[in-house]
């Protein structure tokens, strides 16, 4: 792996350079909340953050998106698909857990038999520059689900904060081309030693929080376990855990019609909402918290293992922190593991 | 606070032992600092799990509807006010519920406390004698508890449960009558400023419906936003759609909202939802001299009709 180095104060120039060529999305502060948004200059960026409130998935998979509009011209029907004229996107300063989540989203939206053109129009040329976590939170459990505070999965470049400088780990060819183009120095031995220390310290600060060995088998055999009822009794069936999850991808498709014009829109949906499985007959196969919350856990830790060979959770901890009733997925998984 | 926990456990054990109730809804310790979490208890020996502290901020009245069992509920004052409304609106009968009332000093707004630490992570929180001690890696910070209350608690003028069967601990001193000074301040702004403020707030909404689902008085079997036939509202996050949701919800709660602030606390995006709700609480107070959740006998103003209603707002808009 190639490693480059850049002084922190020189990052300003680099970012402004990138803004010339890419639509750059970065962590910005809005009303005390850190979110990912388009930036017009380096001054908007707020890298001093643990993680954003909303995951960056909406940059690839917006919460609402028009798939096409339709109408009529004379006697003929017309259909228009929105065409993006945008420059390629670059995500700057996202956390390794969120970068990993893109690989999970790819499995759904870029699957052999189902290529999602809307998703791919943004994904194909996208550049990801992640920043490793020198201070993981107590709610982070990336190391329990195959990631880590400096995992490079899903990133083209990974920044390591070593004090006055960032070490740039060059992960992909695409990332390599970018660093060659902007021209940054190679990292020296002593700086690399410093980087190793920083990484090791962060990794050591994290302890395993869930046991994933044999978890899938446990979950599969516990499907009818009454414990699900008591574990989920307090759930409010809101959409926080799914909407703030970087790897939850469920959506609904709706048609909005006004006069002679129609619009087909894709919107996020949540398996926690009763409406998600409500059938036209009025019957609902997942009528209570128990079935709905079990579905979320099973989907991530069992069904995705069947379908994609890996769990669909990156351990970012957003659902843990933001659940209004403190329904903690780590506790749910641990309880099931111990059955 | 631990004394109150002990008294709650004692009362609950007795209720379960004497088979006066089948289920107890209260709080237990959460998995994160500054969090307590709702818990459901059906056996005497589980009463040990129950706790009471300044982090019991959910409104447990939310969990009362659509149950058949006889229930005891640990109710702080806003939970009790919500229960009053639920009884009046026939969502639960007075006989079905044993209210274990707890006078309340106000709950801690964890986001306010976190904001004090400039991004440092709180790993441990303790409270004693009006102080809140927060600890993390390499720091200990002591805060004055009363400076970090939830907004709903700061403007709460009914800290003692208005209805109860068993009262835990001593009553607490009430503040003077609510003057709605925060709302008067908002009302003094121009229409454009008010619209801009509400629009800015609502534009943050991600339609997770945590506000609605945390609200003890949002119990419609089918919420208007979930109705698909006809579809009353747009489903996107366009401001025109999210605004309809928040305005309609606020109006639906007019004269019913007990001002607990559960909606605002549940919101992950920090939308100032209570501004709308509290404006309506204030209007209902001014126009009808009515406060929701205070009396079982008084009919809610929007649930009644008088032929001699002057309806001045229609005749002289």
User: What is the predicted pLDDT for the residue at A43?
Assistant: 86
Domain boundary, last residue among A148, A175, A204: A204
pLDDT tens per residue across span B128-151: 889 999 999 999 999 999 999 999
Asked whether residue A287 is assigned to any structural domain, the reply reads yes
Token digits of residue B49: 């799990």
- Whether residues A267 and B235 touch (CB distance < 8 A) is answered with yes
The residue range of the domain holding A250 is 215-337
Distance (Å) from the C-alpha of residue B167 to the closest C-alpha of chain A? 24
Residues of B whose CB is below 8 A from A233: 40
Nearest residue to B268 via CA among B209, B192, B225, B314? B209
Nearest residue to B258 via CA among B79, B97, B93, B88? B79
Looking at the structure, do residues A223 and A281 belong to the same domain, yes or no? yes
B276-306 per-residue burial string, b: 16 or more CB within 10 A, e: under 16? bbbbbbbebbeeeebbbbbeeeeebeeeeee
Please give the backbone phi and psi of residue A260, each rounded to the nearest 5 degrees, phi first: -100, 15
Token digits of residue A250: 């469920």
Q: Is B238 on the interface with A (CB under 8 A)?
A: yes
- Whether residues B226 and A275 touch (CB distance < 8 A) is answered with yes
> Angle A242-A247-A253 (CA atoms, 0-180°, nearest 5)?
65
> The dihedral of CA B16, B21, B26, B30: what is its sign?
positive
> The dihedral of CA B6, B7, B13, B17: what is its sign?
positive
- Whether residues A240 and B204 touch (CB distance < 8 A) is answered with no
Looking at the structure, do residues A46 and A166 belong to the same domain, yes or no? yes
A150-170 per-residue burial string, b: 16 or more CB within 10 A, e: under 16? bbbbbbbbbbbbbeebbbbbb
pLDDT tens per residue across span A245-291: 999 999 999 999 888 899 999 999 999 999 999 999 999 999 999 99
Residue of chain B nearest A253, judged by CA positions: B235
Looking at the structure, do residues A173 and A266 belong to the same domain, yes or no? no
> Angle A287-A292-A294 (CA atoms, 0-180°, nearest 5)?
130
The whole-angstrom separation of Cα A263 and Cα A254 is 8
Q: How many domains does chain A have?
A: 2
User: What is the predicted pLDDT for the residue at B1?
Assistant: 60
Whether B94 shows a pLDDT value over 90: the answer reads yes
Asked whether residue A325 is assigned to any structural domain, the reply reads yes
Whether B178 shows a pLDDT value over 90: the answer reads no
> Which of A53, A324, A330 shows the shortest C-beta gap to B266?
A324
Share of chain B above pLDDT 90, in %: 81
> Which of A64, A138, A273 shows the shortest C-beta gap to B238?
A64
Q: What is the mean pLDDT of chain B?
A: 93
Asked whether residue A131 is assigned to any structural domain, the reply reads yes
Residues of A whose CB is below 8 A from B209: 238-239, 273
User: What is the predicted pLDDT for the residue at A73?
Assistant: 81
Contact A274, A196 (CB under 8 A): no
Looking at the structure, do residues A154 and A9 belong to the same domain, yes or no? yes
Looking at the structure, do residues A109 and A222 belong to the same domain, yes or no? no
pLDDT tens per residue across span B208-265: 999 999 999 999 999 999 988 888 899 999 999 999 999 999 999 999 999 999 999 9
Looking at the structure, do residues A144 and A32 belong to the same domain, yes or no? yes
User: What is the predicted pLDDT for the residue at A322?
Assistant: 97
Torsion, CA B75, CA B78, CA B80, CA B81, rounded to 10: -170
Q: Is B124 on the interface with A (CB under 8 A)?
A: no
Looking at the structure, do residues A141 and A282 belong to the same domain, yes or no? no
Residue of chain A nearest B229, judged by CA positions: A280
- Whether residues A239 and B207 touch (CB distance < 8 A) is answered with yes
Residue B308: pLDDT band with limits 50, 70, 90: confident
DSSP code of B160? Answer: S
Looking at the structure, do residues A154 and A34 belong to the same domain, yes or no? yes
- Whether residues B235 and A238 touch (CB distance < 8 A) is answered with no
Residue B316: pLDDT band with limits 50, 70, 90: low
Instruction: List chain A residues with pLDDT less than 70.
Output: none
The alpha-helical segments, DSSP class H, found in chain B are 2-17, 77-88, 110-115, 151-154, 181-187, 191-202, 210-214, 239-252, 262-266, 274-288, 312-315
Element (H, E) at A21: helix A11-21
User: What is the predicted pLDDT for the residue at B39?
Assistant: 97
User: What is the predicted pLDDT for the residue at A328?
Assistant: 97
- Whether residues B270 and A234 touch (CB distance < 8 A) is answered with no
Show Cβ contacts of residue A83 under 8 Å, excluding neighbours closer than 6 positions: none
User: What is the predicted pLDDT for the residue at B2?
Assistant: 77
Asked whether residue A167 is assigned to any structural domain, the reply reads yes
**What integer is the mean pLDDT of B39-50?**
97
Token digits of residue B114: 């976190």
Q: What are the strands of the beta sheet with A157-161, ordered from one edge?
A: A33-38, A23-30, A89-94, A127-131, A157-161, A165-170, A2-7, A185-186
Residues of A whose CB is below 8 A from B266: 236, 238, 240, 324
User: What is the predicted pLDDT for the residue at B317?
Assistant: 54
Asked whether residue A259 is assigned to any structural domain, the reply reads yes
pLDDT tens per residue across span B186-197: 999 999 999 999
User: What is the predicted pLDDT for the residue at B129?
Assistant: 83
User: What is the predicted pLDDT for the residue at B304?
Assistant: 87
Show Cβ contacts of residue B188 under 8 Å, excluding neighbours closer than 6 positions: none
Q: Is A307 on the interface with B (CB under 8 A)?
A: no
Q: Is B197 on the interface with A (CB under 8 A)?
A: no
- Whether residues A54 and B206 touch (CB distance < 8 A) is answered with yes
Asked whether residue A210 is assigned to any structural domain, the reply reads no
Token digits of residue B21: 């109730």
Domain boundary, last residue among A169, A204, A239: A204
Looking at the structure, do residues A6 and A90 belong to the same domain, yes or no? yes
Asked whether residue A183 is assigned to any structural domain, the reply reads yes
Model ipTM value: 0.94
Asked whether residue A209 is assigned to any structural domain, the reply reads no
Looking at the structure, do residues A127 and A24 belong to the same domain, yes or no? yes
Contact A294, A231 (CB under 8 A): no
Lowest mean pLDDT among A14-18, B111-115, B130-134, B173-177: B173-177
CA separation, residue A89 to residues A25, A126, A184 (Å): 7, 5, 21
Residues of A whose CB is below 8 A from B59: none
- Three-state DSSP at A146 gives coil
A206-217 per-residue burial string, b: 16 or more CB within 10 A, e: under 16? beebbebeebbe
- Maximum Cα interatomic distance, chain A, rounded to a whole number of Å: 73
Looking at the structure, do residues A330 and A281 belong to the same domain, yes or no? yes
> Which of A30, A238, A274 shows the shortest C-beta gap to B208?
A238
- Whether residues A324 and B265 touch (CB distance < 8 A) is answered with yes
> Which of B209, B235, B268 shows the shortest C-beta gap to A254?
B235
Looking at the structure, do residues A92 and A114 belong to the same domain, yes or no? yes
């Amino acid at each position: 792996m190639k490693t480059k180095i850049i002084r922190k104060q020189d990052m300003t120039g680099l970012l402004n350079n990138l803004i010339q060529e890419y639509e750059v999305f970065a962590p910005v502060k809005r009303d005390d909340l850190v979110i990912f948004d388009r930036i017009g200059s380096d001054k908007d960026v707020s890298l001093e953050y643990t993680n954003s409130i909303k995951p960056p998935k909406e940059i690839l998979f917006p919460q609402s998106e028009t798939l096409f509009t339709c109408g009529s011209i004379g006697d003929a029907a017309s259909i228009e698909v929105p065409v993006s004229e945008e420059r390629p996107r670059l995500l700057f300063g996202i956390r390794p857990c969120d970068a990993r989540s893109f690989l999970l989203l790819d499995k759904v939206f870029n699957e052999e038999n189902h290529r999602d053109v809307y998703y791919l129009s943004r994904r194909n040329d996208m550049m990801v520059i992640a920043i490793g976590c020198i201070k993981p939170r107590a709610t982070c459990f990336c190391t329990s689900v195959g990631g880590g505070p400096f995992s490079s999965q899903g990133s083209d470049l990974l920044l390591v904060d070593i004090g006055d400088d960032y070490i740039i780990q060059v992960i992909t060819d695409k990332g390599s081309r970018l660093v060659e183009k902007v021209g940054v120095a190679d990292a020296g031995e002593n700086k690399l030693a410093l980087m190793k220390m920083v990484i090791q310290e962060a990794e050591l600060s994290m302890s395993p929080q869930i046991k994933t060995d044999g978890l899938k088998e446990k979950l599969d055999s516990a499907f009818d376990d009454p414990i699900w009822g008591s574990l989920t009794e307090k759930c409010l069936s809101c959409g926080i855990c799914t909407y703030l999850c970087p790897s939850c991808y469920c959506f609904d498709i709706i048609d909005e019609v006004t006069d002679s014009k129609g619009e087909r829109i894709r919107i996020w949906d949540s398996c926690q909402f009763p409406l998600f499985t409500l059938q036209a007959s009025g019957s609902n196969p997942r009528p209570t918290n128990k079935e709905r919350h079990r579905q979320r856990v099973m989907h991530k830790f069992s069904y995705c293992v069947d379908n994609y060979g890996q769990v669909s959770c990156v351990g970012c901890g957003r659902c843990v922190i933001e659940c209004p009733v403190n329904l903690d997925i780590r506790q749910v998984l641990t309880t099931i593991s111990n059955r | 606070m631990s004394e109150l926990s002990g008294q709650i456990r004692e009362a609950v054990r007795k209720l379960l032992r004497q088979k006066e109730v089948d289920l107890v809804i209260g709080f237990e310790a959460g998995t994160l600092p500054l969090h307590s979490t709702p818990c459901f208890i059906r056996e005497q020996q589980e009463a040990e799990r129950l706790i009471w502290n300044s982090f019991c901020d959910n409104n447990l009245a939310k969990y009362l509807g659509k149950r058949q069992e006889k229930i005891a509920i640990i109710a702080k004052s806003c939970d009790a006010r919500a229960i009053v409304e639920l009884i009046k609106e026939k969502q639960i009968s007075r006989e079905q519920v044993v209210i274990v009332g707890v006078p309340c000093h106000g709950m801690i707004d964890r986001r306010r406390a976190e904001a004090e630490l400039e991004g440092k992570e709180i790993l441990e929180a303790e409270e004693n004698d009006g102080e809140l001690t927060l600890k993390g890696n390499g720091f200990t910070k002591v805060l004055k508890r009363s400076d970090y209350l939830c907004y709903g608690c700061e403007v709460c003028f009914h800290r003692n449960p208005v209805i109860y069967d068993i009262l835990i601990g001593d009553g607490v001193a009430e503040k003077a009558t609510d003057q709605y000074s925060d709302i008067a301040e908002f009302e003094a702004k121009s229409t454009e400023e008010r619209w801009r403020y509400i629009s800015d707030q609502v534009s943050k909404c991600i339609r997770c419906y945590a506000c609605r689902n945390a609200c003890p008085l949002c119990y419609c079997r089918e919420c208007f936003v979930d109705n698909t036939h006809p579809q009353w509202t747009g489903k996107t996050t366009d401001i025109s759609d999210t605004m309809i949701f928040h305005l309609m919800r606020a109006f639906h709660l007019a004269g019913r909202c007990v001002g607990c602030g559960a909606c605002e606390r549940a919101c992950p995006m920090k939308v100032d939802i209570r501004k709308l709700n509290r404006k309506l609480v204030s209007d209902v107070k001014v126009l009808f001299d009515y406060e929701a959740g205070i009396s079982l006998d008084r009919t809610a103003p929007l649930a009644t009709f008088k032929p001699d209603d002057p309806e001045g707002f229609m005749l002289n808009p």
